[in-house]
Every structure is written in C-alpha cells, then in structure tokens.
Structure 1
C-alpha cells in the first residue's frame, strides 16, 4: 500500500487487469486479483430449480385434476390461492359444471413455481323432467319451513367448509353402491313440475331401500344428519383439501361427524327420504364450492 497523503485515504495497489475487464485474465487469476483488493467473495444471486408438476385427471366440465409437486407447495387456480399440497406432494383441483374453457394451475414454493394451463372440454348435459312432486319440495312458501331450510343450509355449509389435511383422493374412487341403475346423470338441467330449476349436481344411483352405501375413498365425516327437508338422510365426507362427497336420501346413517372412514366401509343405506320419487342414492361431489361429477373420479389414477 502507498502511504496516504495528508488528510487522504489509503489507495489500494492496482493489479493489472483486475479492474479493467482484461479478457485474457482467467477466473482463478481474477479471483486472486479480487482477493488482492481485500474482496473475499463475489456475491451472485442463486436461482433454484422450479418445483415439478405432474397432472392426471378428467379435463372437462365437472371433472378434476390430481397433481403431484413439492410437498406443501402452494396451489393456485386462475391466480386464486386454493391451499397446500399434502406432505407427500399430492393435490386435487376441481372444474365446475359451468367451468370456462381453460384453467391455469400454478404451484409455488420458496424455490420457484410451475404452471400448467389446462384446456377444459365442454360437458354433455341433458334435460331432466320430473313431475308430480309435492309443491313444498319445489317452491316452498311456508315461513316456518323456509326458516327450517335456511337453518339446514347453514349447518351443511360448515360441513362443506371442511379442509382435512389428507390426500385420500389420490387412489381414485369406487362406486358407493355395488349394484345400481343410473337413473339421472350429473349436470342435467332440472325441470320440476314444469318449472326450470338449477342443474342436477349429482349422479342418481337407483337401488332398493336398505342397500348398503360404501365410502368410495377414505376420509373424515364432516356432516351427518337425518330428516333434512330436501336431502333426507345426508352424509358428507372430506377426502382431503376440501374434496367433499355427498350422500343424499339415506334411510339410515351409520357414521357420525369426526369419524374417520376407510375405502369400502359401509356408511349408511339407500332410501327415498327428502325430495325423491323413488329409492336411490344421489351421489354428489364438491371442491371449494365447485360442483363436480363424482362418477368421473371412479377408477382415477394418481399422477
């Protein structure tokens, strides 16, 4: 080092090529030159690899996608946060009965993110006409009955809000009734007593009263009540991350809220309670408020 001038600072000894970008200076020489300036290391930003993203499923209205990515990655659908992947990295996404033509699925971790834009095929929905229903099952007017229905909706909403930290959906589903006749398909436009109503958000599996109903996959019971005005006996099962299956019109319920159920376990029996013209199980599925076709999940394979 040169001695400082009076009132001045020490000036570092200049190493040829160290500061003037000499292209002939090797990396090792350059590091040595920088060390000669008292620089211990040259900071560079680190760019980590993006998380992996693998998807399988039924990419159509009422369908779903099962994904695998980094454990506990954040899941976004169309830029809306929809929770976290499981500890094993699995997650599920649902496409509503009225979903648009595309869905942007994005997974985010501290290391990066990955995105897939899914093309959603239109569903094939029919028109379903049902006549001869009691008027209070189509357009109830009695104030006491309306208050009862509102209270039932409030209780059910808590069951639909369940977000169990599970990934029991990843092995796919079996049908909840072994032998049945599909008497009404998911998504059909309902016309009740000649009055247009909401689409039918379930698959009707016609079977005799008392036919056992099986859990199609493992999960936790988030709602179980009998005697509901429209639904009769109703059970809800959370299979993980808000994927909820619903079992309507049951004559008997064999489980209670908080119970853990395994795939194939009997949870109740087919009935004709509530708004029903004959014995059947109305099997429904929801994911974060979206209405899905549960039959599309039967036999699904994890990614």
Structure 2
C-alpha cells in the first residue's frame, strides 16, 4: 500500500512543480530590445499583441522611443497556468535641436519627391514586417562598422518650427568604402536606392527583429541572400540625404524602431 500511495502521488507532485521562468536580458526602457527564453510551449503577448516564441523557447520584443511608462506582458505557461506581469518601462531623455532660417526646399520635399518617398516607405514597411522563424536575433549584436559615432538614436530636429521625424538610427562616420558588416546573421529582405537613405540593405534576423544599413556606396549582397554575422555586406558611403560619409544603422522589432547602441559591445 505504501508503494502504491507513492505511485499515485507522483503525478500530483509533477503537476505541482512551478512553471519554468520567463527571463530576458536587458531592461524594459524606451528604445530597448529584450531577448529572452521561456519553456517550450509558452505563449506570450505584449499589450495584447502576440509575441512569437520559438520551439526552443526563444523570443524577442521591444519598446519604441516614446513608449508609455508601463506595459503588460501576458504569459501562458505550458501547463496552462496564466499570469500577467506589469512592466515598468524606463523613460529616456532625447536630444532635441531647433534650427531656423533654412530654405523651404530643405524642409519640405517637392511633390515628385514626396511621391517617391511614399512608395519607398511602403517597400521598407513590407520588409520590416517580416515574421520569420529565424532565431539569429538571439546572438549578441556586433558592430556593423568602425568609426566615429556621429549620431545617436532618438535625437530630433525642429526645422523652421516644424518637428522632423526623430533620428531612428545610430550613425558611424568614416571614409567612403569602409566595410559594413551584418550585425547579426539573417536573410536580406530589401536592397535598393532610396531618396533619404540612399543605397540601403535590410536584413531579417527572425521574430520581427531586423537591421537596416543606409547611405552605402556599394551593396555587396542581393535580396534573398542569407548572410552570416560579421560578413561584409556593403561599403560605407554618402548617398541619399547626408552631409558626409557615414553608416546609418537601425534596429527594429517589426515597425518599431529601437536603439542598437546599448546592445553593442564596448569599444
């Protein structure tokens, strides 16, 4: 009887074990990308939006530049237990510059340019909307180029009293031809020449995480190619709307621009 009681109790003990934790690296903050792991079979939703979880339990999500101070992460564990986590999203201060006296043509593009800009925006949006099963995003971010940091994420200019779109990239200045490498492995989803960005590439790293490389002098890979982390994919240039040669490097979670700088290794 004692042995039988132990056998009957065993399933109950297994069911009573706590569900595996949902963990991530990074701090919830405006502009942050969080990469985490949960038990396989876990379901997640951030503010009601489903977050893709790989069969191994890997996931990623991010917070925009102007994210609210709180977010809600809904977790459904593999055993069916549900919990809701309230996340405090740290606010950040952004640099805002007022520049007045510019010629109107430098502030507002003409109708022809605007039509081109809108068409390019749709192409870029489609590339950034990719939701592939790749998990390259789980690797550490590598520097895409070396040079002087000439621009940071989140800064904004007000031109002749008109607020411009915030700067959604991290700029690295250097000579034309400086090698540009893929910050993570992935799949090239866009390669083209754009009005503002000049020659650019977009690489999908899985689960909505993608990187963009702009103002290039040369693109060395084409749409559809799979690239490795650290592979040279382009060369730095001064194409598009620029004042000098540099790489505009952006990180996104789907359509949400994120700050890549805190994820890069020191130096």
Q: Same fold (TM over 0.5)?
A: yes
Alignment of 1:212-251 (within 5 A): 212-226=179-193, 228-251=194-217
Alignment of 1:124-143 (within 5 A): 124-128=93-97, 136=105, 138-142=107-111
Of 70, 84, 101, the match for 1:102: 70
Q: 1:277 matched to which residue of 2?
A: 243
Any idea what SS the aligned residue of 1:155 has? helix
Q: 2:163 matched to which residue of 1?
A: 196
Q: 1:184 matched to which residue of 2?
A: 151
Q: After TM superposition, give the deviation of residue 109 of structure 1 in Å.
A: 4.6
Q: 1:62 matched to which residue of 2?
A: 31
Listed one character per residue, the Cα deviations across residues 157-196 of structure 1 (whole Å, up to 9, x for unaligned) are: 211111121111212101100x211111110122346642
Q: 2:61 matched to which residue of 1?
A: 93
Listed one character per residue, the Cα deviations across residues 36-68 of structure 1 (whole Å, up to 9, x for unaligned) are: xxxxxxxxxx78854531122132110121111
CA contact (8 A) 2:212 2:251 kept: yes
CA contact (8 A) 1:70 1:85 kept: no
Change (3 A) 1:128 1:269: farther
Q: 1:22 matched to which residue of 2?
A: none
Q: 1:171 and 2:152 equivalent?
A: no
CA contact (8 A) 1:137 1:275 kept: no
Distance 1:230 1:214 in 2: 21
Change (3 A) 1:123 1:292: same
Q: 1:78 matched to which residue of 2?
A: 47
Q: 1:4 matched to which residue of 2?
A: none
Distance 1:279 1:200 in 2: 17
Q: 2:12 matched to which residue of 1?
A: none
Q: 1:41 matched to which residue of 2?
A: none
Aligned positions, number: 252
CA contact (8 A) 1:51 1:111 kept: no
Q: 1:205 and 2:167 equivalent?
A: no
Compare 47-56 and 59-68 and name the one that shifted more: 47-56
Distance 2:133 2:151 in 1: 32
Q: 1:262 and 2:231 equivalent?
A: no
Distance 1:188 1:220 in 2: 29
Any idea what SS the aligned residue of 1:239 has? strand
Any idea what SS the aligned residue of 1:104 has? strand
Any idea what SS the aligned residue of 1:153 has? helix
Name the TM-score, length of structure 1 as normaliser: 0.76
CA contact (8 A) 2:41 2:78 kept: no
CA contact (8 A) 2:130 2:254 kept: no
Listed one character per residue, the Cα deviations across residues 220-241 of structure 1 (whole Å, up to 9, x for unaligned) are: 1111112x11110111111110
Q: 1:158 matched to which residue of 2?
A: 126
Q: Point out where structure 1 has 5 or more consecutive residues left out of the alignment.
A: 1-27, 29-45
